Structure 1
Amino acid sequence: MAAPIVGATTRAAYAEAKPVRIGYIADYFGTSLTAIATDQNLWAKHGLEPDLKIFTNGPIQIQALGAGSLDFGYVGPGALWLPATGKAKLVAINVLGLSDRVIAQKGINSVADLKGKKVGVPEGTSGDMLLRLGLAKAGMTISDIEVVKMDPSTVVSAFASKQIDGAGIWYPLVGIIKKTVPDLVEVAKSDDFYPENSFPSAFVARNEVIAGDVDVVRKFIATMKEANDYRVADVPRSVAITAKFLGVPAEPLEVESRNGKFLTTAELVAASRDGTVANWLKGLNDQFVAFGKMQNPLDPKDYYLADLYAGA
């Protein structure tokens, strides 16, 4: 097979490529843009040489950013309270996620029925957020259930073995659990709270990178923008690329891909300019404050680099 023709611009980008350390999470929303950028050679096109690092959740990536061992990362909505407290800067919106669920064992038919029962949840994630929203809607608080903090993979095994009565978790993990527990009950879902509550996932950057090398931030944003439009144009193809990148079956990722609202880069630019993204983030901040995750969050304009995203 003949080698692809490399243009002068691409050759220059290769020669001047900046090394960057980038985190991702091994599910569709947490990996797809990274996988597309790799498959379509977008990193080199935009002058980056990525060192890709896999993580299990967003808060750990924020910690890695703070420790200086990561430059960019991916976080779900449940971790966006960390940028709102100054731990990192948000540089791009990924997708509006609708994949979170509160699930329960057979016989538990509502969030209210979880009162006094064991509920597993990965702390500080979107599953945690949806659980708290569901409890509030039912006139309850987190103190009305027995919370069992565990990582996502442990939620899967604990629910399957009936060690817990419920869980705040997301697709594709819900789909995996259903294979073992087909009669589980979805007592709350993200869509129940949309659009009053929007759940954006996003890409974040280390504060020192923002302060010291805005050019590399522009290159990263440009890569994400191009990968985003590729995904919007052909979601099934993006699922196949992501499955190949992760070395996993496509089916769970395809299910996950149906639980998100995709916006084109042009739509995200417009939403960044007109304050729509800021309103999404403010809504999340209000929830985080109500849930006791933080006090006095930053204004979204102070941690989402909307102008940089719109102009990069």
Structure 2
Amino acid sequence: MSSLSRRTVLTGFAGIGAALTLGACGKDDEPAGGGTSAVKVGYIADFTGASLMAIAEEKGLWSKHGLKPQLKVFTNGPLQVQALGAGDLDFGYIGPGAMWLPASGKARVVAINSLGFADRIIAQQGISTIASLKGKRVGVPEGTSGDLILRLALRREGLTIDDVKKVAMDPSTVVTAFAAKQIDAAGIWYPLVGTIKQRVPDLVELAKNEDFYPQLSFPSAYIGRNEVVTSRPDVVRKMVALLREANDARLADLDKAIELTAAFLKAPVDQLRSEARNARFLSSDELAAKSKDGTVTGWLDGLNGLFKELGKLTSEVDPGSYYDAAAYAA
């Protein structure tokens, strides 16, 4: 990332932290302290990716925080980053596998959502080790946490992505392709793993996030469009305040959050409950404290080192260039 772009980022973050005035107002925005701001927000239709949206809807948090949302559902984080770049979204949600995109300057992290442990490498019966994936067809959504866990597991065995026949496909296609035995293995996550297990109960789980934790942590996050962060700090402040309140409501009553999200997504409660068990949720105060003491920076820095090794990043990146801890804590 160039020094110019980093300066631009830090200037925008300083505006968020202060949140005194809007640097530039669109036609739907009002100055700080009054009016309602229209925002386009993306999410993923699973528990970690949609629960805060479901809570915000049920509790009326959008109007409380002066926001008028247009919600859009996506299948993965990279597609949301593309939508941010095209101006079709103001905010979105990404898992850890897509965190290299804000690290490369394509978006800004505005809030950490959770630590994820839902990713798996699964294989058809008879394939019992990561090493035995060599030469096999492995389905994976490109640039997602499924892609990341696959590369991590291969690296641990001294292999690379070139040692398997990687087949890029969207998450829903992974489900159907694995069930039809069109692929030998997949890098995918819960609750989709649970869906696949219903069709292929004898599948084998070869690797999971916990195999690499705590040396590596896997945070999901809400991100903002670069132009929104740099020119509409009051809107970002409102969004972060909403996310913090919804986050604490989720933590205070996880069972209720699961029920709300199931209704929001029109999805089975048990499916979302299995996913929620594979995540760690922290209070907003904990996230603020971990942002201040450098813990979150450590999480992001660990991922950046991995992304550099895997060729996603070409140089070292300071997490402070795309996540402002002070702004979240404020």
CA 1:166–1:247: 2 relative to 1, 3 Å:
same
Query: Among residues 185, 189, 192, which one is paired with 2:208 in the alignment?
Result: 189
- Amino-acid identity (%): 60
Q: Does residue 1:302 correspond to 2:321, yes or no? A: yes
Q: Does residue 1:70 correspond to 2:89, yes or no? A: yes
Could you give the per-residue CA deviations for residues 166-198 of structure 1, whole angstroms, max 9, x where no partner exists? Answer: 000000000000000000000001111111110
Task: Letter of the 2:146 partner, please give it.
Answer: G
- 1:258 aligned residue: 277
- 1:138 aligned residue: 157
- 2:65 aligned residue: 46
- 2:305 aligned residue: 286
CA contact (8 A) 1:130 1:189 kept: yes
- 1:178 aligned residue: 197
Task: Letter of the 2:35 partner, please give it.
Answer: E
CA 1:124–1:254: 2 relative to 1, 3 Å:
same
Q: Does residue 1:148 correspond to 2:167, yes or no? A: yes
SS of the residue corresponding to residue 311 of structure 2 reads coil
Query: Among residues 274, 280, 283, which one is paired with 2:293 in the alignment?
Result: 274
Task: Letter of the 1:310 partner, please give it.
Answer: A
Runs of 4+, deviation exceeding 3 Å: none
Task: Letter of the 1:54 partner, please give it.
Answer: V
Query: Among residues 92, 115, 131, which one is paired with 2:111 in the alignment?
Result: 92
Separation in structure 2 between the aligned mates of residue 226 and residue 34 of structure 1, nearest angstrom: 11
SS of the residue corresponding to residue 100 of structure 2 reads coil
Deviation at 1:298, TM superposition (A): 2.7
Task: Letter of the 2:235 partner, please give it.
Answer: V
**TM-score, normalised on structure 2?**
0.89
- 2:23 aligned residue: none
- 1:127 aligned residue: 146
Gaps of at least 5 residues in structure 2 are: 1-31
Deviation at 1:297, TM superposition (A): 4.3
- 2:18 aligned residue: none
Separation in structure 1 between the aligned mates of residue 217 and residue 53 of structure 2, nearest angstrom: 23
SS of the residue corresponding to residue 228 of structure 2 reads helix
**TM-score, normalised on structure 1?**
0.94
Query: Among residues 118, 122, 128, which one is paired with 1:109 in the alignment?
Result: 128
RMSD: 1.2
Separation in structure 1 between the aligned mates of residue 259 and residue 237 of structure 2, nearest angstrom: 28
Separation in structure 2 between the aligned mates of residue 181 and residue 224 of structure 1, nearest angstrom: 37
Could you give the per-residue CA deviations for residues 71-112 of structure 1, whole angstroms, max 9, x where no partner exists? Answer: 000000111101001111100000000000000000111111
Separation in structure 2 between the aligned mates of residue 138 and residue 117 of structure 1, nearest angstrom: 15
Could you give the per-residue CA deviations for residues 127-171 of structure 1, whole angstroms, max 9, x where no partner exists? Answer: 100001101111111111110110000000000000000000000
Could you give the per-residue CA deviations for residues 241-267 of structure 1, whole angstroms, max 9, x where no partner exists? Answer: 000001111111100000011111110
Separation in structure 2 between the aligned mates of residue 228 and residue 14 of structure 1, nearest angstrom: 23
- 2:41 aligned residue: 22
Aligned residues: 299
Task: Letter of the 1:209 partner, please give it.
Answer: V
Q: Does residue 1:234 correspond to 2:233, yes or no? A: no
Deviation at 1:279, TM superposition (A): 0.6
Query: Among residues 257, 262, 267, which one is paired with 1:248 in the alignment?
Result: 267
Q: Does residue 1:158 correspond to 2:158, yes or no? A: no
- 2:50 aligned residue: 31
Task: Letter of the 2:304 partner, please give it.
Answer: N
Task: Letter of the 1:205 partner, please give it.
Answer: G
Separation in structure 1 between the aligned mates of residue 139 and residue 107 of structure 2, nearest angstrom: 28
- 1:220 aligned residue: 239
CA 1:306–1:14: 2 relative to 1, 3 Å:
closer
Separation in structure 2 between the aligned mates of residue 255 and residue 264 of structure 1, nearest angstrom: 21
Gaps of at least 5 residues in structure 1 are: 1-12
Separation in structure 1 between the aligned mates of residue 176 and residue 268 of structure 2, nearest angstrom: 19
SS of the residue corresponding to residue 125 of structure 2 reads coil
Separation in structure 2 between the aligned mates of residue 175 and residue 248 of structure 1, nearest angstrom: 13
